Structure 1
């Protein structure tokens, strides 16, 4: 065992958070799960406190989950972690890297600038332009800028009719002033999650959709399954995650008749998919990586 003190920022009681805390405790003898909802930032000192613990006294924190749901407020929580970095506390992954992944548009712009293939996408604040996008695509997925597991997404198609489309677009626009719209792709009933640790490929899993679901998320009834992507997909995933300089991540890739496309890069990565679909103990691998990184500082 080492004497390093590494905290886990996550959701107390959640499996992935506790699994990572267990893995670090077994290697260091220290365990602390930090709920950002309980953190106080004293900007005068400056210091971050959580239940009597000054986080600046830790050697590192590993961010497994910053909040239960994504929202602009999530960005505020990540900003606070920059205080820790300034104090010399290592944050896995770096706060600046995660900041660019919480907002779906920031992630997409970074991927597009890197030349990563993605579904055709339109972004607009104008309902008329949103309607034009549906006409162009035939069927489109309207996505909130802050969401996970397809929550809040809405599929709209020409089958809705002109009046129906205008009504549904107006309703979506009420909660989403900036509308992010992607062409709905015809997929083979699955997409892939490729796992990377320190930029190196660790393994992959598939998400298989339920028969009547348009997406493959577990939230919508999908299930994990093994898969063995070829070298082309592994390299595409590596290129997609590279601009973000993350310590641990999952890249969501779909295979289409026109070639593979990337849907997104995860700020935190999926432990359960890695375990159930690929047989990877991601918590153990990540804990080893963190401790090796601290030893090499």
Structure 2
């Protein structure tokens, strides 16, 4: 059997951040090699076909595992992913492939793919028209306006039909987000589910319990992780939702509503901390074993 300690596998992530470092730890423990890549410091030399990070040409590695591409999502994040396609073309295995991640960074792209595969989601309107946005608010009663590029509910805003200032609120949001992504605010009973998949296989689920004083359940807003045991119908829905994206590691965010479960999104990177604190899954170790197995496959 080939010795895994000959493999050179880098982690693209945020140096010093927990999920990035635990993945680098797990890879180092199995291979003896450690390299955390901050994409902000990567240079592409197309003439030389070199993708340089410090003194390492990433095109000469065996594998690259993408844990995080930037601290916050933006169109610039897509540029960083494009650089990784050069490494792929040079024969480096990237987990998950850059093109697959690209389809999830943009909330619109993710939503269109889910809709095209008949995945139930909250009622959603996408428009650049402030008049159509106002009509959506009136129809929904309460609407969540979401930036196309964001994580942990950052930049999201609730606008209510009963608000006297709703037209100005829409105009302010539109000034920063010309393509407005608008979803009906649902009664979610204060929690949603993170359902974990590795190579398309279901590993388990954790819940995010809301803090009570926030409309969303994100940890950023004071939510807490807890174990969860969804029924077979919800597990099947999550499997259908993640399948079109062909991710090596991901989580599917699902909420249970009065009319049945709905999918909010499929994650570009997956939740290591939720898996660890919510259900005791060491996602970093499992992912590392999976990557090594693929490289030997």
Which TM-score band (shorter chain)?
Answer: over 0.9
Quote how far apart the aligned CAs of 1:284 are.
Answer: 0.3
> What residue number does 1:78 align with?
81
> What residue number does 1:18 align with?
21
SS at match of 1:194: strand
1:157 aligns with 2:169: no
Give the Cα–Cα distance (whole angstroms) in 2 for the partners of residues 281 and 159 of structure 1.
46
**Gap runs ≥5 in structure 2:** none
- Within the candidate set 58, 67, 70, 1:64 is matched to 67
Give deviations 1:88-133, integer Å, cap 9, x for gaps.
Answer: 0000001110000011000000000011000000000010100000
> What residue number does 1:88 align with?
91
> What residue number does 1:132 align with?
135
> What residue number does 1:54 align with?
57
Quote how far apart the aligned CAs of 1:159 are.
Answer: 2.1
8 Å CA contact 2:5–2:33 kept in 1: the answer is: no
> What residue number does 1:200 align with?
201
- Within the candidate set 7, 20, 28, 1:4 is matched to 7
Give the Cα–Cα distance (whole angstroms) in 2 for the partners of residues 28 and 239 of structure 1.
34
Quote how far apart the aligned CAs of 1:188 are.
Answer: 1.2
> What residue number does 1:270 align with?
271
SS at match of 2:162: helix
Quote how far apart the aligned CAs of 1:47 are.
Answer: 1.4
Give deviations 1:208-236, integer Å, cap 9, x for gaps.
Answer: 00111100000011000011111111111
Give the Cα–Cα distance (whole angstroms) in 2 for the partners of residues 135 and 159 of structure 1.
8
Following superposition, which runs of at least 4 residues in structure 1 exceed 3 angstroms of deviation?
A: none
Q: How does 1:220-239 map to 2 (within 5 A)?
A: 220-239=221-240
Give the Cα–Cα distance (whole angstroms) in 2 for the partners of residues 211 and 152 of structure 1.
20
Quote how far apart the aligned CAs of 1:53 are.
Answer: 0.5
8 Å CA contact 2:120–2:262 kept in 1: the answer is: yes
- Within the candidate set 92, 97, 101, 2:100 is matched to 97
Quote how far apart the aligned CAs of 1:43 are.
Answer: 1.3
Give the Cα–Cα distance (whole angstroms) in 2 for the partners of residues 170 and 266 of structure 1.
29
Give the Cα–Cα distance (whole angstroms) in 2 for the partners of residues 278 and 203 of structure 1.
7
- Within the candidate set 140, 144, 155, 1:141 is matched to 144
SS at match of 2:163: helix
> What residue number does 1:213 align with?
214
Quote how far apart the aligned CAs of 1:262 are.
Answer: 0.1
**Gap runs ≥5 in structure 1:** none
Give deviations 1:64-91, integer Å, cap 9, x for gaps.
Answer: 0000000000000001111011000000
Matched positions, count: 294
Aligned-residue RMSD, C-alpha: 0.6
Give the Cα–Cα distance (whole angstroms) in 2 for the partners of residues 232 and 293 of structure 1.
30
TM-score (norm 1): 0.98
Quote how far apart the aligned CAs of 1:2 are.
Answer: 2.4
Give the Cα–Cα distance (whole angstroms) in 1 for the partners of residues 117 and 83 of structure 2.
28
Give the Cα–Cα distance (whole angstroms) in 2 for the partners of residues 68 and 247 of structure 1.
21
Quote how far apart the aligned CAs of 1:30 are.
Answer: 0.5
Quote how far apart the aligned CAs of 1:147 are.
Answer: 0.2
SS at match of 1:140: strand
8 Å CA contact 2:122–2:264 kept in 1: the answer is: yes
